Amino acid sequence: MLLGIGMGNFVVELVGDRKGVIYALCIFAPPVMALWVIVKYRKWIFKYVLWVLRRKGLLQIVNEK
């Protein structure tokens, strides 16, 4: 959340009084931040999803040995 506020202030300083650009950038900010978080923590997210599926019994691991 702080990243979004800081980025918003940076954009306001960058473009000045052109409000249309600010609103357009605010629309694209959440998806860009979400993609950044997913890319950065993709291994952890994958492990967490597997853990949740195992816990709920939706994922069964077959031992092929």
pLDDT at 18: 65
Q: How far from 1 is each of 5, 6, 17, 44, 58, CA to CA, in Å?
A: 6, 9, 24, 21, 33
CA pair distance 26, 7, nearest whole angstrom? 9
Going by the DSSP 8-state scheme, the letter that residue 16 receives in this structure is: T
Which is more confidently placed, 43 or 4? 43
pLDDT at 54: 86
Query: What are 21-60's pLDDT values in tens digits?
Result: 666 677 778 888 888 888 899 999 899 988 998 888 887 7
| Domain edges within the chain | 2-56
pTM: 0.43
**Residue of 7, 9, 46 whose CA lies nearest to 30:** 7
